[in-house]
């Protein structure tokens, strides 16, 4: 050891020096004491290091045990169930009323595959649908289509079954706005029944919202410069400048009433089931095949303005209409409760709420129709935008699977699903068009 070498070296030096033997012995004794202390320090470090590893392991084991106890909600003397020892065990999902929800769960077996094949989820987060022949009690998660709660015999049978597993999650699921759900289901009867909500609202526990519809667009100066001098009016038709394509004619937003009032001040051609004109047919189902939007809104002889009016004035409710128009040489006129200005620059679209009346909007559309330079600027502004998703896109079933793995073993209750998915989510047309008033009187 290094300490032995130091002692022998010093002893030799003392012998060469000569002198009082007693003094030399005292010095040697002090040196030996110092070496002993140094050796003790090295041993102490090794002991503390070993103890530290043991303490860390004990702390980690304790943390894991606490986490498992929280996840399982079991007492410490209860053994782990076989399927609870491995968090990667698949989450089993059952969709109540398969025929009713089949419009979304197109393939009720294997439809989670794309979550892994397309890289949305790690394969350790496994989920699977239980077979139609299996009892709902075999599932970890049961998804209920809200619109059919009062009408589906299967939903009624499951809701009234006393054998519901205590740790099973029930999901309130629908993509329709509240007023449509309430038309078929009295949600006041389902207080404290569900554990999670899954609607298009971003306030849902597992939002059933196509995140591809929530974008933020910024102007590309390079694109803007390349579009300089293009006269989009050359390919537009003469005469009627405004078009509206619609298949639902009695809506919560009363957009049909707004269009009728607008027609008193400017010509509007209405296609589909809500008007006299048709493209191929009046059915929405054939418009894509007949390329109606492209023909009427983009190609030679197309309209200058398109009424992109939502059928519902509800929070977070936005359909694909607006984004479809982003690739077309048309100026969109929008109506909806979503904050358009939070997605698009104001000079790339026209919002009905910026005008006190349909007559005022009609006058502005006429003004643009008669001023090609200002009309072209709208399309130039819109066509120069680059749009990004506000949130990463993930198919809803993948989001559900990921969320259920995160919540595994915990419990939650939606105490009043009727209040959550009620009238507070939407505005009446009168409220929608009312002039906003700043409220600076806060209760403190």
Q: Note whether 185 and 170 are same-domain residues.
A: yes
Within-domain flag for 408: no
Helix (H/G/I), strand (E/B), else coil: 172: strand
The percent of residues in the chain predicted with pLDDT above 90, rounded, is 48
User: Is residue 48 scored above 70 in pLDDT?
Assistant: no
Q: Note whether 139 and 277 are same-domain residues.
A: no
Domain span holding position 42: 2-72
User: Is residue 240 scored above 80 in pLDDT?
Assistant: yes
Q: Note whether 249 and 376 are same-domain residues.
A: yes
Q: Note whether 253 and 303 are same-domain residues.
A: yes
User: According to the model, what pLDDT value does residue 76 have?
Assistant: 31
Sign of the Cα torsion 83, 85, 89, 94 reads positive
More confident residue, 339 or 59: 339
Within-domain flag for 64: yes
Interstrand relation of 350-351 and 305-309 (parallel, antiparallel or unpaired): unpaired
Residue found under tokens 């003004």: 367
Residue 358 to residue 281: CA distance in whole angstroms: 29
Q: Note whether 255 and 307 are same-domain residues.
A: yes
Q: Note whether 228 and 125 are same-domain residues.
A: no
Q: What is the pLDDT of residues 217-228, one digit of tens each?
A: 999 999 999 999
User: According to the model, what pLDDT value does residue 380 have?
Assistant: 97
* Token pair for 285: 């189902």
What's the structural domain count of the chain? 3
Q: Note whether 178 and 249 are same-domain residues.
A: no
Q: Note whether 150 and 187 are same-domain residues.
A: yes
Interstrand relation of 331-335 and 350-351 (parallel, antiparallel or unpaired): parallel
User: According to the model, what pLDDT value does residue 374 have?
Assistant: 97
* pTM beyond 0.85, yes or no: no
Report the mean per-residue pLDDT for the chain: 79
Pick from 72, 102, 127: which residue ends a domain?
72
Q: What is the pLDDT of residues 261-270, one digit of tens each?
A: 999 999 999 9
* Token pair for 391: 């949130």
Nearest to 145 by CA among 192, 180, 107: 180
Q: Note whether 29 and 126 are same-domain residues.
A: no
User: Is residue 26 scored above 70 in pLDDT?
Assistant: no
Helices (H) and strands (E) in the chain, counts: 16, 12
């Amino acid at each position: 050891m290094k300490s032995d070498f130091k002692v022998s070296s010093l002893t030799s030096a003392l012998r060469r020096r000569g002198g009082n033997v007693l003094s030399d012995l005292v010095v040697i004794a002090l040196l030996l004491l110092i070496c002993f202390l140094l050796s003790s320090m090295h041993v102490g470090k090794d002991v503390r290091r070993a103890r530290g590893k043991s303490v860390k392991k004990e702390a980690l084991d304790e943390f894991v045990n606490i986490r498992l106890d929280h996840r399982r909600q079991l007492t410490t003397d209860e053994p782990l169930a076989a399927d609870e020892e491995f968090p990667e065990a698949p989450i089993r999902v059952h969709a109540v009323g398969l025929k009713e929800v089949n419009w979304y769960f197109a393939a009720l077996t294997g439809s989670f595959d794309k979550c892994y094949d397309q890289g949305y989820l790690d394969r350790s987060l496994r989920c699977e649908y239980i077979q139609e022949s299996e009892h709902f009690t075999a599932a970890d998660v049961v998804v209920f289509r809200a619109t059919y709660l009062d009408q589906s015999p299967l939903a009624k049978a499951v809701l009234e079954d006393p054998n519901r597993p205590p740790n099973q999650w029930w999901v309130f699921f629908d993509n329709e706005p509240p007023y449509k759900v309430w038309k078929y289901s009295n949600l006041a009867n389902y207080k404290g029944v569900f554990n999670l909500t899954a609607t298009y609202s971003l306030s849902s526990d597992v939002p059933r919202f196509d995140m591809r519809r929530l974008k933020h667009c910024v102007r590309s100066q390079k694109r803007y410069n390349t579009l300089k001098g293009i006269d989009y009016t050359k390919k537009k038709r003469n005469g009627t400048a405004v078009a509206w394509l619609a298949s639902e004619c009695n809506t919560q937003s009363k957009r049909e009433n707004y269009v009728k009032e607008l027609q008193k001040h400017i010509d509007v051609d209405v296609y589909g089931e809500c008007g006299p004109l048709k493209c191929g047919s009046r059915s929405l189902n054939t418009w894509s095949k007949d390329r109606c939007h492209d023909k009427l809104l983009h190609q030679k002889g197309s309209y200058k303005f398109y009424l992109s009016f939502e059928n519902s004035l509800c929070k977070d409710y936005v359909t694909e209409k607006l984004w479809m128009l982003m690739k077309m040489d048309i100026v969109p006129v929008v109506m909806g409760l979503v904050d358009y200005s939070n997605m698009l620059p104001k000079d790339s679209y026209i919002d009905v709420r910026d005008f006190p009346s349909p007559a005022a909007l009609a006058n502005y559309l006429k003004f643009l129709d008669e001023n090609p330079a200002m009309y072209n600027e709208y399309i130039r502004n819109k066509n120069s935008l680059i749009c990004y998703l506000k949130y990463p896109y993930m198919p809803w079933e993948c989001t559900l699977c990921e969320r259920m793995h995160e919540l595994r073993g915990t419990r939650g209750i939606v105490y009043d699903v009727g209040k959550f998915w009620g009238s507070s989510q939407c505005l009446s047309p009168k409220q929608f068009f009312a002039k906003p008033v700043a409220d600076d009187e806060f209760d403190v």
